Amino acid sequence: MEIEDCDTPDRIIEKAANVVPSKGQRAWQQREITAFTHFGVNTFTNREWGSGAEDPKTFAPESGVDVAQWMDTYRAMGAELAMLTAKHHDGFNLYPTRYSPHSIKNSGYEGDLLRTYATEARKRDMKVGVYLSPADGSEVPHAWHADWLEKLAAKQEAGEELTSVEKTALEDGGPPSGLGRYGNGSAETVRTIPTLAEGDDRRAKVASGELPTFKIKANDYDAYYLNQVYEILTEYGPIDEFWLDGANPWRDAGVEQKYNFRAYFELIHALSPDTVIFQGFKGIRWVGNEKGIARETEWSVTPHQVDPRENLAPLPNDSTDPDIGSREKLLGEGVKYLQWYPAEADVSNRPGWFHHPDQQPKTSAELVDLYEKSVGRNAPLLLNVPPAKDGRISDADVRELTAFGERVRAVYGENVLAGEGPQTFDRVRLAEDISRGQRVEAFTVQARDPATGAWRDIASGTTIGAYRILPLAEPVTADALRVRVTESRATPHLKPVTAHLSTAGQGG
The full set of domains in the chain, from first to last, is 31-300+342-411 (3.20.20.80), 416-500 (2.60.120.260)
- Check pLDDT > 80 for residue 361: yes
Instruction: State the Cα–Cα distance between residues 496 and 259, nearest whole angstrom.
Output: 45
pLDDT, average across residues 387-401: 97
Instruction: State the Cα–Cα distance between residues 36 and 397, nearest whole angstrom.
Output: 14
Cβ atoms 102, 50 nearer than 8 A: no
Instruction: State the Cα–Cα distance between residues 131 and 244, nearest whole angstrom.
Output: 6
Instruction: State the Cα–Cα distance between residues 496 and 303, nearest whole angstrom.
Output: 29
Closest to 434 measured CA to CA, from 1, 9, 29, 10: 29
User: Distance between alpha carbon 110 and the CA centroid of its chain, in Å?
Assistant: 29
Question: What is the pLDDT confidence band of residue 453, given thresholds at 50, 70 and 90?
Answer: very high
Q: Which helix or strand (DSSP H or E) is residue 473 part of?
A: strand 468-478
- Check pLDDT > 90 for residue 317: no
* HEC string for 125-180: CCEEEEEECCCCHHHCCHHHHHHHHHHHHHHHHCCCCCCHHHHHHHHHCCCCCCCC
Question: What is the pLDDT confidence band of residue 308, given thresholds at 50, 70 and 90?
Answer: confident
Coil, helix or strand for 52? coil
Strands 214-218 and 189-193 come out as: antiparallel
Question: What is the pLDDT confidence band of residue 508, given thresholds at 50, 70 and 90?
Answer: very low
pLDDT, average across residues 463-482: 97
pTM (two decimals): 0.96
Share of the chain above pLDDT 90, in %: 92
- Check pLDDT > 90 for residue 245: no
- Check pLDDT > 60 for residue 234: yes
pLDDT, average across residues 372-376: 98
Question: What is the pLDDT confidence band of residue 426, given thresholds at 50, 70 and 90?
Answer: very high
In what side-by-side order are the strands of the sheet with 381-384? Answer: 276-278, 241-243, 127-132, 81-87, 33-37, 381-384, 343-348, 285-286
pLDDT for residue 318: 73
Instruction: State the Cα–Cα distance between residues 373 and 365, nearest whole angstrom.
Output: 13
Cβ atoms 343, 298 nearer than 8 A: yes
Closest to 451 measured CA to CA, from 431, 430, 480, 426: 480
